[in-house]
Amino acid sequence: MSEAEFEAYVQSGGQVEVGDSMPEDYRKALVKFIEMHGNSELMGVLPEREWILRAPTLQRKLALTSKVQDEVGHAQLIYRVVEDLGKPREACLDDLVAGKTKFHNVFHYPTKTWGDVGVIAWLVDAAAIISQKALLRCSYAPYARIMKKICWEESFHILHGRDVILTMMNGTDEQRELVQEALNRWWGPLMQFHGNPIPAEDDPMYRWRIKSQANEEARQQFLDGYVPQIWELGLTVPDPKLRKGKDGVWEYSEPDWEELKWVVTGHGPETERRLGFRQASREETAWVRRAVLPDAA
Amino acid sequence: MGTARGSSGRGVIWEIFRQEREGQPFQHGGSLEAPSLVFAEAYAREFYGRRDESFALWIVPRDAVKEVREPYVADVFDRDYRRVDGYSLKVKLKEARERAGTSEAR
Amino acid sequence: MNAQELLRLADDELILGWRNSEWTGIAPFLEEDVAFSSIAQTEIGHARAWYELAAKELGSDADSLAFDREPEDYLCSPLVELRLADDWARTIARHWLYESADAIRIGGLKASDDPDVAGLAEKIDREEAYHRMHAAMWEERLRGDARFREAVDELWPFALGVLSEAQRSLLCEAVDRDEVEAIEQGERNDLRPLWEEMTMVRRSVPGASW
């Protein structure tokens, strides 16, 4: 079928499987999009895993280890989908550490306190889940299928995040301050997370039903769901313009789109260090992969 | 189905089928890369069992699975004898009842 | 069984679980990362169960016993304290040796007069079956590798130190190695930095709920 016929096919709900013929641009866009998701899960592990070692109770240690484990598992599911589309996992990892491919802005920032652990699990994961739920309707069926497992596992993370935050908010002044301070630092990246508003008709990802939710719609959904949760705990959002209009649409200060672009192109505060760390661990364990994976027939 | 060999060309891809509850059909859960069946089993348990979400698993090397798309050409000639709507019994039943004197005014 | 012996078991599982969790996110490949992380979590869970038993006797709670003691008061074996985080050969050597030793230890505890201890040992043993399978799987894969063999040689005296003198010959039989002088006490050099990191958040607001 022609590209126009393919577009009509996916827009009317048609599903694409791995062996189906598809326009080369569609396949490339899929690989890029899905690879970035895999990269994000893998890089998202790094800011969180430090806190596994510092978790202040046995229960928190278990829950946080489990959460990070899930994220590694998600990276596995996602890179398998990319590999079946033609790009092997090692090639993805090579490109990631070389800075040739991207990962989400939020994973380029430092985590400074246990307050960050709570805010990430509660709000950053929430922002991610909104996008992930929209991907359940992706036209590429193998990806839509893994999103089902991913969304199910993410639901546990949100509960954990909420629990961590509520415990701190019900605790001491110092603990409440940890949460507020972390929220102040994470608000900017959170507002940038869903990307700058692009009209759906201009977005090929949308036309091909790879994405089925516009960036601004996702952000509005996030604000609608989570700003009330933030305010009801007595926390403040560091944006004086933030309010819900009478028409139900949230107004807010324009996010710093230049910062977003700068960060995702590899200039975040932690980007270089984390990519370096990833590469170093890969190098240290390369002998294991060589020893354990049998030679090709 | 995608590549049968993993990332370095050396691992093997395994398909994992899972039975969600006792008695249910096995459904495809996903795939993973492992050097042998022993490793594949260890990993399949983790990926599809650590939350107690599977009653049983089947682990199959990908190249043992033959995928067949559009399994049957059945729409060229009419095969109504294989479909429920290929049988219309109403008229014959009415005639048979009348013959036997068992039909009632309906 | 007295509280000190329970603490020894708990400390071994806690510190080993902590060490193994250092690999979460950076294991040699993704599938193994998920599997090894479960092992670490299970170890922490077992630690918690032993702490809870000890806590009954000591009038405390599991988290206080796990986190609020001084480093010199931990009773874990030197084997589990060692920092092996960027060395998969030594990590797996420790994993295999510890699981072999622990199987003997748990086997003994299943026969304990104390029903709480025997019952818990039984439950732990069932879960440990998966750890042993995993360790055996890797040992078989790596036994031909010089790096792994050297690691086992290095850690062997430490492994013997996990067990009581009476049980050591059983370990020698299980892994087919000759007995040597066991390393039972350590300098605690690796434990102190681990303890600093492990307790830093908890110490930041003493007495708080987290």
Number of domains in chain C: 1
At B1 the pLDDT is 67
- pLDDT interval class at A293 (50, 70, 90): confident
Query: Across residues A50-60, what is the average pLDDT?
Result: 97
Chain A CB contacts of B62 under 8 Å are none
Q: Is B47 on the interface with C (CB under 8 A)?
A: yes
At A58 the pLDDT is 98
- pLDDT interval class at A282 (50, 70, 90): very high
Is the model's pLDDT at B2 over the cut of 80? no
Please judge whether B43 and C32 are an interchain contact, meaning their C-beta atoms are less than 8 angstroms apart.
Answer: yes
Return the CATH number at B17: 3.10.20.520
The verdict on residue C95 lying in a domain is yes
Is the model's pLDDT at B3 over the cut of 80? no
- pLDDT interval class at B106 (50, 70, 90): low
Minimum CA–CA partner of B13 in chain C? C31
Measure the CA–CA gap between A270 and A169, rounded to whole angstroms: 28
Query: Across residues A266-280, what is the average pLDDT?
Result: 97
**Partner residue facing B7 (CB), from A90, A153, A292:** A90
At B74 the pLDDT is 74
Query: Across residues A161-178, what is the average pLDDT?
Result: 97
Is the model's pLDDT at A63 over the cut of 50? yes
Q: Could you give the 3-state DSSP secondary structure of residue A251?
A: strand
Please judge whether C63 and A167 are an interchain contact, meaning their C-beta atoms are less than 8 angstroms apart.
Answer: no
Q: Could you give the 3-state DSSP secondary structure of residue B73?
A: coil
Q: What is the DSSP letter of B18?
A: E
Is the model's pLDDT at C120 over the cut of 90? yes
Q: How buried is A164 (Cβ within 10 angstroms: 0-12 exposed, 13-18 middle, 19+ buried)?
A: buried
The CB density around residue A85, as the number of other CB atoms within 10 Å, is 20
Number of B to C CB contacts under 8 A, please give it: 25
Measure the CA–CA gap between C22 and C39, rounded to whole angstroms: 12
At C204 the pLDDT is 96
Nearest C-alpha neighbor of C185 from the set C105, C99, C74:
C74
List, edge to edge, every strand of the sheet that includes B12-19. B27-34, B12-19, B56-61
Please judge whether C29 and B42 are an interchain contact, meaning their C-beta atoms are less than 8 angstroms apart.
Answer: no
Measure the CA–CA gap between A270 and A104, rounded to whole angstroms: 13
Chain A CB contacts of B36 under 8 Å are 294
The verdict on residue B90 lying in a domain is no
- pLDDT interval class at C162 (50, 70, 90): very high
Q: Report the C-alpha dihedral over residues A19, A23, A25, A31, rounded to 10 degrees.
A: -10
Query: Across residues C153-165, what is the average pLDDT?
Result: 97
The distance between the two most distant Cα atoms of chain A, rounded to a whole number of Å, is 66
Model ipTM? 0.96
Please judge whether C35 and B34 are an interchain contact, meaning their C-beta atoms are less than 8 angstroms apart.
Answer: no
In contact, A224 and A218? CB cutoff 8 Å: no
Nearest C-alpha neighbor of A34 from the set A71, A87, A97:
A87
Is the model's pLDDT at B10 over the cut of 60? no
* Structural domain harbouring C176: 3-204
* Domain definitions of chain A by residue range: 24-268
At A297 the pLDDT is 29
Minimum CA–CA partner of B8 in chain C? C29
**Residue C157, CB-side half-sphere exposure with 13 Å CA sphere:** 8
Measure the CA–CA gap between C141 and B102, rounded to whole angstroms: 79
Q: Which of residues 3-32 of B touch C (CB under 8 A)?
A: 32
**Partner residue facing B8 (CB), from A85, A149, A289:** A289
Alpha helix positions (H), C85-190 = 88-110, 115-142, 146-160, 168-175
Q: Could you give the 3-state DSSP secondary structure of residue B33?
A: strand
Measure the CA–CA gap between A95 and A79, rounded to whole angstroms: 13
Please judge whether A80 and B32 are an interchain contact, meaning their C-beta atoms are less than 8 angstroms apart.
Answer: yes
Nearest C-alpha neighbor of A113 from the set C210, C85, C56, B60:
C210
Q: Which two tokens stand for residue A262?
A: 């700068």
The verdict on residue B17 lying in a domain is yes
Nearest C-alpha neighbor of C191 from the set C79, C51, C101:
C79
Counting residues of chain C whose pLDDT is more than 70, the rounded percentage is: 100
Query: Across residues C59-75, what is the average pLDDT?
Result: 96
Q: Is A55 on the interface with C (CB under 8 A)?
A: yes
Is the model's pLDDT at B84 over the cut of 90? no
Neighbouring residues of A249: CB distance < 8 A, sequence distance ≥ 6: A220
Measure the CA–CA gap between A88 and B5, rounded to whole angstroms: 10
Kindly give the interhelix angle for C115-142 and C30-58, rounded to the nearest 10 degrees. Answer: 160
**Partner residue facing C21 (CB), from A52, A56, A281:** A52
Is the model's pLDDT at A104 over the cut of 90? yes
At A98 the pLDDT is 96
At C98 the pLDDT is 98
At A201 the pLDDT is 79
Q: Which of residues 109-168 of A touch B (CB under 8 A)?
A: 145-146, 149, 153
Is the model's pLDDT at B105 over the cut of 80? no
Q: Which two tokens stand for residue A178?
A: 């940890």
Please judge whether A293 and B8 are an interchain contact, meaning their C-beta atoms are less than 8 angstroms apart.
Answer: yes
What is the Cα gyration radius of chain C?
17
Number of domains in chain B: 1
At A296 the pLDDT is 33
Alpha helix positions (H), C3-114 = 3-21, 30-58, 62-67, 78-81, 88-110
The CB density around residue A8, as the number of other CB atoms within 10 Å, is 12
How many separate helices (H) and strands (E) can be counted in chain A? 12, 2
Query: Across residues A149-166, what is the average pLDDT?
Result: 95
Query: Across residues A121-140, what is the average pLDDT?
Result: 96
Counting residues of chain C whose pLDDT is more than 90, the rounded percentage is: 96
Query: Across residues B53-72, what is the average pLDDT?
Result: 92
Nearest C-alpha neighbor of C197 from the set C44, C83, C36, C51:
C83
At B71 the pLDDT is 83
B partners (3+ CB pairs within 8 A) are A, C
At B5 the pLDDT is 61
Is the model's pLDDT at B76 over the cut of 60? yes
**Partner residue facing C35 (CB), from B33, B35, B42:** B42
Query: Across residues C198-207, what is the average pLDDT?
Result: 96
In contact, A185 and A108? CB cutoff 8 Å: no
Measure the CA–CA gap between A48 and A67, rounded to whole angstroms: 9
Q: Which of residues 102-131 of C touch B (CB under 8 A)?
A: 130
The verdict on residue B101 lying in a domain is no
Q: Is domain A24-268 annotated with CATH 1.20.1260.10? A: yes
pTM score above 0.90: yes
The verdict on residue C209 lying in a domain is no
**Partner residue facing A294 (CB), from B29, B35, B51:** B35
What sign for the dihedral angle of Cα A88, A93, A94, A98? positive
Q: Is C31 on the interface with B (CB under 8 A)?
A: yes
Q: What is the DSSP letter of C69?
A: S
Q: Is C137 on the interface with B (CB under 8 A)?
A: yes
The residue whose two tokens read 């739920």 is A133
Is the model's pLDDT at C26 over the cut of 50? yes
Return the CATH number at C29: 1.20.1260.10
In contact, A49 and A36? CB cutoff 8 Å: no
In contact, C32 and A26? CB cutoff 8 Å: no
Query: Across residues A68-91, what is the average pLDDT?
Result: 96
Please judge whether C34 and B39 are an interchain contact, meaning their C-beta atoms are less than 8 angstroms apart.
Answer: no
Is the model's pLDDT at C107 over the cut of 70? yes
Measure the CA–CA gap between A164 and A154, rounded to whole angstroms: 16
Query: Across residues A56-78, what is the average pLDDT?
Result: 97
